Amino acid sequence: MALITRASLPQEFTNIVSARLLLTPEPQYLHAQLFKMSLNASFSGIGSLGLPIPGRQFGTNGAAYASPTDGTLALSDGIYDQAIMVVPELGKGVGQTVSMNRPVYANTTYTQVSREVPGGTAISQVPINVGSEQVSITIRRFAGPYDPAQGKPAPYGVDRFDSTFMMHRAADIVSGNLKRDFDRTLDTFGVKLFDIAGTTVHPNGFTTDNDHTTVDAGPMSWALLQSVERQMDDASIPKFADGKRCIVLKPRQVEQLTLDPMYQRLARYFPAENPLFKGTYVSDVGDWKIFKSTQLTTVTNGSSVPVYYGQAFGPGAIGCGAGSMPECAFHTNDNYGLTSMVIWLWHAGFEVFDNRFIFSVRTS
């Protein structure tokens, strides 16, 4: 029996692509938002493709395309713009490097006996020096996206003719991908910088990553938070304007912490301080403001156990500066206006100013 089906009469059937877009899971780039807040800089994307010359621009046909933030995972609230120190001089004049001094104070003897000057005693006339140290930050040129096959940044390329018939605007598609690449790049810069901690803290009984021989052997806990707080107090690490310090944790660390009975009794929850960080804020507890990020470092140790790197810090540990706003750049070789190749460019600098202000909190 012969049936008329898609297989027997394919000419009568066609597939339709809906203009509606589905969401794709994306993390919330907490560290990227930190830099953007501090620098007041954001990547605006592009409205069209091609060189900004009459007759050379295209890519606006079709339905609007999704923003890369539409599917952002809402996790962890307003984090402080003081977390990162901005160097406004960077990229604003002659010279690619800006240096800053930090006083170094000598600890000597402070007893009454040592400081008393009895009658008839001559005070020394040999002067002593004061100390100082210097940190520098250098402006560099960054670009994206990156092609692993070439091992270097490479452009997105679009054909003008084919873009005319696309379901969604080619300019929106490229712009969304550029924004996503920029945010993830900036976020990775931040995570790596905050990982350069001056102090590493493990749960009680652990001293290295390899000491965690089983999953959950050294979990995140209120006792560990208290230990980090005490060590930061001992080191005189400054606090933010509200009298608290920040700690950013992996979701697994947050899960473990929220199961701690002592934490449950002490935790306080407040509305988001800044809508840009909505979803990253966890709670206030003691002298801590807790956030979470999926992008923090996870290392698999010698026992094949994942070790999570939380980040506790005070203000001013990281410095950054920008010579300009991030922008899109188009290649001039556009084949008579028939193609467009585009990248993002940014002149900026990033540096750890004082890793003593950063504590790496490692748990399993």
Q: Token pair for residue 330?
A: 């188009």
3-state secondary structure of 163: helix
Question: Mean pLDDT over all residues of the chain?
Answer: 83
Cα separation, 73 vs 208, whole angstroms = 32
Cα separation, 303 vs 137, whole angstroms = 39
**Cβ atoms of 100 and 135 closer than 8 Å:** yes
In the chain, domain spans: 26-74+85-97+134-193+320-352, 198-315+354-363
Mean pLDDT across 197-209: 95
Give yes or no for residue 72 having a pLDDT over 50.
no
The pLDDT value given to residue 74 = 35
Which one has a higher pLDDT value, 348 or 21? 348
Tell me the pLDDT tens digit for each residue of 263-282: 898 888 776 555 556 668 88
**Cβ atoms of 314 and 324 closer than 8 Å:** no
By percentage, how much of the chain surpasses pLDDT 90? 39
Which one has a higher pLDDT value, 52 or 211? 211
Which one has a higher pLDDT value, 197 or 2? 197
Residue 334 burial (10 A CB sphere; 0-12, 13-18, 19+) = middle
Confidence bin at 78 (pLDDT 50/70/90): very low
**Cβ atoms of 277 and 77 closer than 8 Å:** yes
Give yes or no for residue 322 having a pLDDT over 70.
yes
By percentage, how much of the chain surpasses pLDDT 70? 84
**Residue 227: how many CB atoms within 10 A of its CB?**
17
What residues pair up with 147 in beta bridges, in sequence order? Answer: 152
**Cβ atoms of 143 and 344 closer than 8 Å:** yes
Tell me the residue type at 141.
Answer: R
Q: Token pair for residue 302?
A: 């010698």
**Cβ atoms of 320 and 349 closer than 8 Å:** yes
Q: Which CATH class is domain 198-315+354-363?
A: alpha beta
Task: Indicate the range of 52-66, 184-198, 308-322 predicted with least confidence.
Answer: 52-66
Q: Token pair for residue 216?
A: 């959950």
> Nearest to residue 31, comparing CAs of 68, 67, 83, 74?
83
Looking at 13-73, which runs of residues are DSSP E strands? none
> Nearest to residue 202, comparing CAs of 357, 311, 309, 362?
362
Confidence bin at 76 (pLDDT 50/70/90): very low
Tell me the pLDDT tens digit for each residue of 119-143: 888 898 898 888 888 888 898 999 9
How do beta strands 281-285 and 288-292 pair? antiparallel
> Nearest to residue 48, comparing CAs of 56, 40, 39?
56
The pLDDT value given to residue 131 = 85
Residue 7 burial (10 A CB sphere; 0-12, 13-18, 19+) = exposed
Which phi-psi region, left, alpha or beta, contains residue 105 (left: φ > 0; alpha: ψ -120 to 50)?
beta
Give yes or no for residue 1 having a pLDDT over 70.
no
Q: Check: pTM over 0.95? Answer yes or no.
A: no
> Nearest to residue 291, comparing CAs of 280, 302, 305, 306?
280
**Cβ atoms of 146 and 153 closer than 8 Å:** yes
Which one has a higher pLDDT value, 154 or 5? 154
Confidence bin at 211 (pLDDT 50/70/90): very high
Counting every residue, how long is the chain? 364
Which one has a higher pLDDT value, 164 or 142? 142
Which one has a higher pLDDT value, 69 or 328? 328
Which one has a higher pLDDT value, 19 or 70? 19
> Nearest to residue 321, comparing CAs of 130, 28, 39, 19?
39
Which one has a higher pLDDT value, 282 or 225? 225
Tell me the pLDDT tens digit for each residue of 278-307: 668 888 888 898 999 999 999 999 999 999
Give yes or no for residue 153 having a pLDDT over 80.
yes
Choose the most confident range, by mean pLDDT, from 90-94, 134-138, 189-193, 263-267: 189-193
The pLDDT value given to residue 282 = 84
Cα separation, 80 vs 242, whole angstroms = 10
CA–chain centroid gap for 199, Å, is 20
In what helix (H) or strand (E) does residue 174 lie, and over which residues does it extend? Answer: helix 170-194
Confidence bin at 41 (pLDDT 50/70/90): low
Confidence bin at 165 (pLDDT 50/70/90): confident
